[in-house]
Amino acid sequence: MSIIEKKRGIVIALDITDADLAVELARQLCGLEGNFIFKIGRPLEMQRGYKIISEIKKISQIPIIYDGKIADIPYISSRIAQIAYEAGADAVIVHGFVGRDVIESILELNRGDVIVVIGMTHPGASQYINPIAKQLVEIVNILGVNGVVLPATKPEIISSIAPMLEKDIYIMSPGIKAQGAEVGDAIKTGADYEIIGRAIYGASNPKKIAEEFYKIVRLL
């Protein structure tokens, strides 16, 4: 059973490098109407360490993903994930290319959702990771992970991978606005969540724009 529901929603990437501002933004976004998730990645973590997860958890009911893009040996990867879960993360993101034992080591913790990156948005992703996305699907299906990350900038990858995934695995897709895809593009091709950073936290009214984006994906 996943903590994060498999239904349409928006993941807000809190990639702000001023931790006080990030906390303030999370406070402003507390009352968001709709299905929203917060994603805390390395840029914010580098400012205040894992405690930023607890800090944001304390002020909001919105589920939190720790996006450390974990990619180390199983022993280290599971320790990183454990720290994130203990700090209040509901899910962690791990790279799929590092192999089955790494993903298993995090699943064995049984502390929250495990989301696996099986495709990426940037041009260089065509060199190594995206060509092996289908092989990574086999692993995530066998292991029963909770979610996967697939690129909104490459709709053909989402549409070919989505039908191959076990039906309860949710798909989260970054690459919206700042990286070129439009709101709704990934959902239309089979994603459940769109991950959006700059177009929300860089807006003059982040709460308003987040709700507008959510309305678009909900009504598709």
Q: Which residues are catalytic?
A: 69
> What gap in Å lies between CA 87 and CA 81, rounded to an integer?
10
Residue 198 makes contact with ligand 3DU by CB under 6 A: yes
Nearest 5°: the CA angle 192, 196, 197 is: 155
Specify whether the CB–CB gap between 150 and 176 falls below 8 A: no
Nearest CA-CA partner of 2 in 144, 190, 172, 164: 144
Stretch that binds ligand 3DU, among 47-55, 94-102, 130-138, 192-200 (CB under 6 A): 192-200
Residue 133 makes contact with ligand 3DU by CB under 6 A: no
From 114, 195, 210, 217, residue interacting with ligand 3DU (rule: CB under 6 A): 195
HSE of 88, CA atoms in CB hemisphere, 13 A: 19
From 13, 53, 191, 209, residue interacting with ligand 3DU (rule: CB under 6 A): 13
- Output the six-digit token pair for 12: 């807000």
Task: Please report how close the Cβ of residue 160 comes to ligand 3DU at its closest, in angstroms.
Answer: 16
Binding-site ranges for ligand 3DU (CB under 6 A)? 13, 15, 41, 120-121, 149, 151, 174-176, 178-179, 195-199
